[in-house]
Structure 1
């Protein structure tokens, strides 16, 4: 069975948001206790986020169109960068838990920077896309993820310079900024998928009934 690009795109967005939420909960526990408590959740959350980013990249590749190729390439590249960044975060935290705190923090900072760069590419890709109901939301969601990721990198840099209190504050705030961005992105991608379904119906009237789309907030159907 072939999985549609739209399904991968929307599934990836939800998985990304779930991973970001788990990460933020783990970061909150770590910041409030000033201990390693919560790092296991951070590792798990980053791994889930990386999986979500990968699904989005694959989904967008399947939906690649020549008339929007440059914008989509930026978005696909950004999604893969985010996946790499989140994976690097998970590796860095694991190294920290194994006792090599300084080395792990450096890797974690690198991962956050790569993730921030990836989200920035996705925001750029969205800004180059056609004006639509989801364009502004996609730019906002990805920009917040980018901002949160760069703030996390700054927080890790503070930790490396033995300013752990302000570093933990940066890490805490940044994790929840990413969560907000991820949930905004769900809304953006849901609207985008509805738009794709509508375009398919216009090209082929036999595709769907023209009145409801499987991803609509207001009208669900099983297709």
Structure 2
């Protein structure tokens, strides 16, 4: 049995939320101990997030409707794939750090966070150019927080590369938990979105629009 786009969206959102929590816990351990403690959780967390982003991208692709706001949908799909790529880069970078190549791993981790932040920004912009709905502002807020948190992680790594480890670790810690907040705001947004997608047709016989982010006009 094939999985519907709506199921993929909500499943991906929850997996993303779980991954962000795992990553943030690992980052907390690392930042507070100034050691490699917690890095294994950061690797796992980013891997989980990448899987969640991929499910969201596939779900939105399944729900793509060329008759509706194409540009908004394309930004959201592209952004989700970018986030998946960025999180994968984070996992690879941290794994390289654990193997002993700390500088090379940190550079890759920084690039991954930058890509992830850019992807979330694309998704936020996709929500911004969509029409109004009960979940539009939550969509924008959640993705904007994930983008901000990701860019803070990249900045924190830059400080670490400049041997300003203490401030860098604190920025990493803040960035990680901002991503958690953003992920759970996004879960709320997608839950409302999926409920609207499952709603019955309106009086005119037209279903509620996907990615119009509003109810169809009567």
Structure 2-normalised TM-score?
0.91
2:54 matches 1:54: yes
| Structure 2 gaps, min length 5 | 204-218
Q: Could you report, residue by residue, the CA deviation over 1:11-61 in whole angstroms, capped at 9, with x for unpaired residues?
A: 000000000000000000001111000000000000000000000000000
Query: RMSD between aligned alpha carbons?
Result: 1.0
Between 1:43-52 and 1:188-197, the stretch displaced more is 188-197
Q: 2:12 — aligned with what?
A: 12
Separation in 2, partners of 1:174, 1:101: 20
Task: Please list every run of at least 4 consecutive aligned residues from structure 1 whose deviation after the TM superposition is greater than 6 angstroms.
Answer: none
* Secondary structure of residue in 1 paired with 2:198: helix
Tell me the equivalent position of 2:77. Answer: 76
What residue number does 2:135 align with?
A: 134
Aligned residues: 202
Distance in 1 (CA, whole Å) between partners of 2:47 and 2:178 is 18
For 2:202 and 2:82, the matched residues in 1 are separated by 33
1:169 is displaced (CA, Å) by 0.5
Deviation at 1:187, TM superposition (A): 0.2
Q: Distance in 2 between matches of 1:168 and 1:68?
A: 41
Deviation at 1:203, TM superposition (A): 7.0
Question: 2:198 aligned with 1:202, yes or no?
Answer: no
Partner of 2:211: none
1:69-218 to structure 2, matched below 5 A, reads: 69-198=70-199, 201-202=200-201
SS of 2:69's partner is: helix
Normalised to the residue count of structure 1, the TM-score between the two structures is 0.89
Other-structure match for 2:215: none
1:83 and 1:175 map into 2 onto residues whose CA distance is 16
- Offset of residue 129 of structure 1: 1.4
Q: Give the superposition deviation at 1:197.
A: 1.0
Q: Which residue of 2 aligns with 1:218?
A: none
Unaligned runs of 5+ residues in structure 1 are: 205-223
- Partner of 1:39 in structure 2? 39
Q: Which residue of 2 aligns with 1:30?
A: 30
